[in-house]
């Protein structure tokens, strides 16, 4: 609206309020529990569709294509992880410049569907081989 351009804010009658956020408690679900309990043991857990054989990482409860329930969980070979794509963050949410840029990588595993976003360090590059250095969520990885 035009009055905003001329900046006569103080002369307008308005009402100020704050829309505070509420607290949420999200559940990870049965498949999510398998996945997160796996992380505690340093394992990456996926789930395998009984119909099409597709392996989802992280594990999930149903196959979105076959639409059947998945109850077989498999451990993924974490040494095969690779960087699918990455980005470098230079400023935080409020626009302040970060002292050290943050690398975020999307890592995937061969022959699986899905991927995991994590903090990355090292020689971060697309296709780079990944070593998971921390299983705390979000994961931290080092690219060789």
Partner 1 sequence: MKVNIYLNKRVAVIGAGLTLFRRRLLETPQEIAWEAARKALDEAGLELRDIDCVVIGSAPDAFDGVHMKGEYLSHGSGGIRKPVSRVFVGGATGVMTAIAGWYHVASGLCQRVLAVAEEKMSPSRPHPQAIFKYIWDPILEKPLNPNLIWIFAMEMHRYMATYGIKKEDIALVSVKNKRNALNNPYAQLGANITVEDVLKSEVLVWPVQLLDVSPVSDGAAAIVLASEDVARRYTDTPVWVEGVGWTLDNTEWPARDLAYARYVEFAARMAYKMAGIERPNKEIDVVEPYDPFDYKELHHLEALQLAKRGEAPKLLKEGVFDIDGDIPSSPSGGLLGVGNPIAAAGLMKVVSIYWQLKGTAGKMQVKKPVHTGLAQAWGDLMQAGTVIVMRN
Q: Which residues bind partner 1 (CB under 8 A)?
A: 15, 17, 19, 22-32, 61-62, 64-69
In the block, residue with structure tokens 């408690």: 25
- Contact partners, residue 67, CB within 8 Å, separation at least 6: none
Our CB check for partner 1 shows the closer of 67 and 90 to be 67
Our CB check for partner 1 shows the closer of 30 and 101 to be 30
Closest CA to 143 of 113, 114, 102, 107: 107
Q: Reply yes or no: is the peptide bond before residue 58 cis, omega within 30 of 0.
A: yes
What is the Cα–Cα distance from 83 to 42, expressed in whole angstroms? 19
In the complex, what is the shortest distance from the CB of residue 42 to partner 1, in angstroms, rounded to a whole number? 24
Our CB check for partner 1 shows the closer of 61 and 117 to be 61
In the complex, what is the shortest distance from the CB of residue 39 to partner 1, in angstroms, rounded to a whole number? 17
- Contact partners, residue 1, CB within 8 Å, separation at least 6: none
In the complex, what is the shortest distance from the CB of residue 64 to partner 1, in angstroms, rounded to a whole number? 4
In the complex, what is the shortest distance from the CB of residue 115 to partner 1, in angstroms, rounded to a whole number? 15
Our CB check for partner 1 shows the closer of 69 and 131 to be 69
């Amino acid at each position: 609206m035009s009055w905003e351009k001329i900046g006569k804010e103080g002369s307008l009658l308005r009402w100020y309020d704050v829309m505070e956020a509420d607290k949420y408690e999200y559940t990870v679900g049965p498949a999510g529990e398998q996945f997160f309990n796996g992380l505690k043991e340093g394992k990456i857990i996926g789930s395998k569709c009984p119909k099409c054989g597709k392996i989802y990482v992280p594990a999930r409860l149903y196959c979105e294509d076959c639409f059947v329930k998945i109850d077989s969980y498999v451990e993924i070979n974490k040494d095969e992880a690779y960087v699918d794509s990455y980005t470098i963050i230079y400023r935080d949410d409020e626009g302040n410049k970060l002292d050290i840029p943050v690398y975020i990588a999307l890592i995937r595993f061969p022959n699986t569907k899905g991927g995991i976003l994590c903090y990355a360090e090292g020689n971060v590059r697309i296709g780079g081989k990944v070593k998971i250095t921390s299983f705390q969520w979000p994961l931290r990885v080092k690219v060789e």
